[in-house]
């Protein structure tokens, strides 16, 4: 069954979801880019408030692909007590080398690390085998440029299905995000990704930097838990 992730930017937003907690409560600062990071203090406060009622994840920020910078960011965010640390995979010249150099950090922190790739800025090289070899626990697709275009504006259902199959074949958790709407749930659920991630769809007027609306979260929670049959694809 595909589960759902909700991104929050504050303890107040997290608390507003108390009656409809997602499977993963994700923490990021949407005003600071695709994977803007919250302060470690805020993340720690949210983790303590959640108190194991759901899983927690947090992003480390839109950082350059330098292993020393990312290693420090991963270690520091893991210390907050989150269940998953998420880092962005940006198409830079030293990308593959950077991922290889992160292996020792990923295996040392004992907190699963999730790689986030961007549908509108996908690397030319196939990254999933490299990510799996380096010890990443999972991989997500998102969108880097937040201009109203969503995941399905960049990649077809067929391409997304291949991504899910490749990730799962490599033993990785798999998530899909990127300005997803409530309507996208029915389209994407048959792909059987492990998670669908939401931020814009939870906010007033689909504006990701606006305050989260608990009523919209209730609607997504209901749709995701409706037990829709999985259609056969491929």
- Is 86 one of the annotated active-site residues of the chain? yes
Rg (CA), the chain: 16
User: Which pair of tokens denotes residue 141?
Assistant: 């697709």
Among 28, 126, 133, 232, the one annotated catalytic: 28
Q: Burial level of 20, CB count in 10 A (0-12/13-18/19+)?
A: middle
Please, what's the largest Cα pairwise distance for the chain? Answer: 45
30: Cβ–Cβ under 8 A, 6 or more apart, which residues?
7, 9, 36, 146, 199, 208, 209
- Is 107 one of the annotated active-site residues of the chain? no
| CB 188 within 8 Å of CB 201 | no
Between CA 209 and CA 204, with CA 183 as vertex, the angle to 5 degrees is 25
Active-site positions read 28, 86
């Amino acid at each position: 069954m595909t589960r759902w992730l909700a991104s929050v930017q504050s303890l107040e937003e997290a608390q507003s979801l108390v009656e409809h907690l997602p499977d993963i409560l994700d923490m990021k600062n949407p005003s600071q880019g695709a994977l803007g990071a919250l302060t470690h203090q805020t993340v720690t406060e949210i983790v303590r408030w959640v108190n194991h009622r759901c899983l927690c994840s947090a992003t480390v920020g839109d950082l350059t692909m330098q292993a020393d910078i990312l290693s420090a960011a991963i270690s520091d965010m893991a210390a907050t007590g989150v269940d998953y640390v998420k880092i962005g995979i940006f198409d830079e010249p030293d990308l593959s080398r950077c991922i290889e150099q992160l292996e020792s950090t990923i295996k040392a922190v004992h907190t699963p690390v999730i790689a986030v790739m961007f549908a509108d800025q996908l690397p030319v090289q196939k990254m999933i085998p490299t990510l799996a070899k380096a010890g990443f626990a999972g991989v997500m697709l998102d969108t880097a440029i937040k201009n109203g275009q969503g995941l399905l504006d960049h990649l077809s259902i067929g391409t997304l299905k291949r991504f899910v199959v490749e990730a799962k074949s490599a033993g990785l958790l798999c998530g899909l995000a990127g300005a997803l709407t409530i309507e996208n749930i029915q389209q994407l659920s048959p792909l059987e990704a492990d998670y669908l991630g939401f931020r814009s769809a939870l906010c007033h007027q689909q504006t990701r930097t606006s305050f989260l609306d608990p009523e919209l979260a209730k609607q997504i929670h209901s749709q995701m838990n409706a037990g829709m049959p999985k259609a056969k694809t491929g």
